[in-house]
Amino acid sequence: MGVSNKNAQNNTQPKGNKKDFKKPIQVLHISKKDSQKKSPEIHNEQTNSQEEIKKENTVIKPQIIRDESVKKEIEDINEYNKVSDSAQQDLNRPLNFSEQNTDHQLERTVDEFDFDESAFLEALNANEPIGAKGDTISGKVIAIESDGLYVDIGGKAPGYMPKKESGLGVISNFKEKFSIGLEMEVLVIKEQNADGMVTVSARALILRQSWEKVSSSAKNGELIDVLINGFNRGGLTCDVDGLRGFIPRSQLEDGQDHQSFVGKTLKVAFLEVNPETRKLVLSEKKASLVSKLQSLELGQIIEGEVLAVKPYGFFIDLGGASGLLHQSSLTNGSIRSLREIFREGEIIKALISEIDLEKGRIGLNTALLENSAGELIIDKKKVMQEASERALKTKALFDKKEQDK
């Protein structure tokens, strides 16, 4: 530690007695780092001053004042610097897990890190909501209220079915029809709310099943009997398995006095079935046509009159039904015009090659009656005369087609 004395630096001889000479001594607390930063010139100057004071036989004993708080603070700073330097060295040093005598050993346990896929899927299934909109679910009645009932569907909350969704039409004996423990199938019409409860319906399920049934019947060309329960200016209304059906006046055999059909039963065919728009259109005329089509067979020879000539073929009258003789099924030869083979009003014979009961269509074919390509163009009369005999050769072809359906 260095001690400064202003009088010593000016080489001034102290005057008076020793009591006057003793003045407060200024103590400078200089750290080791600050002393190292002093320039060589200042160090030499202090050394020379001290030597001159000694020569003058003036002895000054500096009083060193030790501040314990400052000392402790310096020691804490030094200790902190040591710890920081050690930590920085540890960070800069790359980890080497291959060292045998390391203080840091990582232990890996299967339970903490391994991925159990089966357990994960099981957890997902356990939390998967039951009853998405449109799902059919089997349940059991567990509670009945005045405005609806609750059905246990296996979820975290029961399904709620409003009274109006419990069946078709008006249900007067609601509590008598449904009892606790009754098993039933329901359709989810509204997905679960915040409480996990879904809204279900028996009525919606019945209607869905009805639409599926009529769609299948229409595809197969089935005929049904319906009871007429109403009329309007456009036609008649009826009920088909809980669905509202409509018969236009133009699709009646006799639509002049159509209101007189109320309360009567008619045989009809499906004209249009659309579950999305809830459109169900029926036809009495088509029912008559389908009845005739049902009596026909593939490969059968029919005789009819050419009703019309179109750019794509001929329409043939089959006695209440019409068949299409397409140009691709006319002949195996090349033709310039359809009219060079058949004309309107001409009576011809053809094979039945297609029967579509759903659309009420009949496909005809004359090319299969030819013994050689273009024979119908060269000798049409001979082909028509031998049509029945030649049709026997194609019987095996249509039998195979019928089996493939």
Among 3-7, 165-169, 299-303, the least confident range: 3-7
Q: What is the per-residue pLDDT for 10?
A: 46
Average the pLDDT over 252-257 and give the result. Answer: 88
Q: What is the per-residue pLDDT for 333?
A: 87
Q: What is the per-residue pLDDT for 69?
A: 61
Q: Is the pLDDT of residue 129 over 50?
A: yes
Q: What is the per-residue pLDDT for 391?
A: 87
Q: Distance between CA atoms of 351 and 382, rounded to whole angstroms?
A: 16
Q: What is the per-residue pLDDT for 9?
A: 44
Q: Which residue reads 């009003």 in tokens?
A: 345
Please write the tens of the pLDDT for every residue from 85-102. 655 565 555 555 455 554
Please write the tens of the pLDDT for every residue from 364-399. 999 999 999 989 998 999 999 999 888 888 877 777
Assign 325 a pLDDT band (cuts: 50, 70, 90). Answer: very high
Assign 130 a pLDDT band (cuts: 50, 70, 90). Answer: low
Q: Distance between CA atoms of 195 and 286, rounded to whole angstroms?
A: 52
Q: Is the pLDDT of residue 400 over 50?
A: yes
Domain edges within the chain: 1-80, 119-220, 221-289, 296-403
* Cα–Cα nearest to 362, from 310, 262, 289: 289
Please write the tens of the pLDDT for every residue from 280-297. 999 999 898 888 888 888
Class for the domain spanning 221-289? mainly beta
**221-289 and 296-403: identical CATH topology:** yes
Q: What is the per-residue pLDDT for 244?
A: 94
Q: What is the per-residue pLDDT for 34?
A: 46
Q: How far is CA 280 from CA 26, 240, 272, 304, in A?
A: 114, 9, 6, 33
Q: What is the per-residue pLDDT for 238?
A: 95
Q: What is the CATH number of domain 119-220?
A: 2.40.50.140
Average the pLDDT over 234-240 and give the result. Answer: 94
Q: What is the per-residue pLDDT for 359?
A: 80
* Cα–Cα nearest to 195, from 129, 122, 123: 129
Higher model confidence: residue 8 or residue 196? 196
Q: Is the pLDDT of residue 105 over 70?
A: no
Q: What is the per-residue pLDDT for 368?
A: 92
Q: Distance between CA atoms of 225 and 360, rounded to whole angstroms?
A: 18
Average the pLDDT over 7-18 and give the result. Answer: 46
Among 48-57, 109-118, 164-173, 291-300, the least confident range: 48-57
Please write the tens of the pLDDT for every residue from 177-201. 888 999 989 988 888 777 778 899 9
Model-level pTM?
0.56
- Strand locations in 103-147, DSSP E? 136-144
Assign 153 a pLDDT band (cuts: 50, 70, 90). Answer: confident
Which CATH number among 1.10.287.70, 3.40.50.10490, 3.40.50.150, 2.40.50.140 corresponds to the domain 296-403? 2.40.50.140
